[in-house]
Amino acid sequence: MTDTTARRYSAGAMIFHWLIAILVIANWQIVERAHDFEGAMRGTVMGYHKAVGITILVLTVGRLLWRSTHKVPPLPSDLAGWEKTLARTVHVIFYVLLIALPLGGWLANSLTGRSIDFFGLFTIPQLPVGENRTLGGTIFDMHALGGSIFIYLIALHILGALKHTFFDKNGGIFRMLPFGKVPG
């Protein structure tokens, strides 16, 4: 393994990262568009949001399994201590949200008596929690708040990657891409 390869994420990690990133942004836009509709059309669009959320959950579990068996490259050595702490903290919060948001959505749907249609292929059953519409509504509210926090953290993540790539010139975004220069 070359020195540059040791500073890049593995191909599998890159695929998981970019696939999940695209799906998270797409799912945010799907739910934003759902607010423009009413009735059956809103339900259809929200059905896509739920199915994409479950897909994100499955991919995140896959990514965590991948990560547990593949070495993560070290953070660039020129990062300040606070930058390393911030990077690690944001990544942990990302994983928590990537798991908690879909599970929370599934739980809230279950509490409000709804199963999840997975793109018309099969139905994901309700969790065995009984019906409690008030609690389900509260969890939906927390789900929405968590989603908003996630979007702000994604913006912070993107700004950090761009800063490290173009201002610090330490490889930043190229650590998660199969091309570009990752300096030593």
**Residue 1, pLDDT score:** 42
**Residue 4, pLDDT score:** 54
pLDDT along the chain (184 residues), means of 10: 70 98 98 95 97 98 97 90 94 97 98 97 97 98 98 95 91 91 82
Prediction pTM value = 0.93
Rounded Cα–Cα distance for residues 156 and 152 (Å):
6
User: What's the chain's length in residues?
Assistant: 184
Domain boundaries, the chain: 3-176
**Residue 182, pLDDT score:** 87
Name the 3-class secondary structure at 122: strand
**Residue 5, pLDDT score:** 60
Cβ atoms < 10 Å from Cβ of 171: 23
